[in-house]
Amino acid sequence: MPAVTSKPIGQYPWFIRLFFWKQRRTYGRVLDPGLLWGRSPWVFASVALLYGAFDRRSSPIAPALRSLVTVRVSQINHCAFCVDINSATLAKRGVSMEKIDALPQWQGSVLFDSEERLALEYAEAMTLNRVDDDLRARLKAHWSDDALVELTGLIAFQNLSSKFNAALDVPAQGFCRVPRPPSETRASIDDC
């Protein structure tokens, strides 16, 4: 049973219902985390706007790379909802299911290029609080300061989102079926 339940849609403030309307148009339904964040309307509005800033078209970080990072952070934090929706977004951004399936073991896979490897290493190090001077130097050699700030902010945001959802046991909503990490089991894999 979830730690917190949602309220009937009509009980949320009008400006939060606007976000729900947008979610219905984008995803075909209101997202479970939105219903929970909506219990704190001003925080939800701020979180939604922050997500929009990171996911804008003019971001210096390519869309597929942003999605790779968000899926990996979600996997580390055991957020079923985030792995589900972010994997679906990753597939829509042109990444193959083979690569999505390989993401938990990206270090041993030839499917990831050097930029992806560096971003994934950073995502894992940030999530586990293990960023060191060597990694910072390699990041600075690859990305501009502006791009590095965006990447860092995106990883921090995904940690906020996935830890929130994992703590409240928000389930996947069926956007994409991908293998769970080795510590969990699931028999079938369906495409996004």
Domain that holds residue 23: 10-54
Kindly tell me the burial class for residue 58, based on how many C-beta atoms sit within 10 Å of its own C-beta (0-12, 13-18, 19 or more). exposed
What's the pLDDT at 3? 78
pLDDT at 143 over 90: yes
pLDDT at 142 over 90: yes
- Kindly state the average pLDDT of the residues 7-30: 96
CATH number of the domain encompassing residue 83: 1.20.1290.10
What's the pLDDT at 190? 46
Contacts of 42 (CB under 8 A, 6+ apart): none
46 assigned to some structural domain: yes
pTM: 0.90
Please indicate, yes or no, whether residues 116 and 67 belong to a single structural domain of this protein: yes
Please check whether residue 65 is in contact with residue 150, taking contact to mean a CB–CB distance below 8 angstroms. no
pLDDT at 39 over 70: yes
pLDDT at 106 over 80: yes
| Span 41-93, pLDDT tens digits | 999 999 999 999 999 999 999 999 999 999 999 999 999 999 999 999 999 99
168 assigned to some structural domain: yes
- Kindly state the average pLDDT of the residues 97-112: 96
Please indicate, yes or no, whether residues 46 and 66 belong to a single structural domain of this protein: no
What's the pLDDT at 192? 65
Q: Which two tokens stand for residue 74?
A: 């979600």
2 assigned to some structural domain: no
Chain position carrying tokens 């075909």: 28
pLDDT at 181 over 60: no
pLDDT at 140 over 70: yes
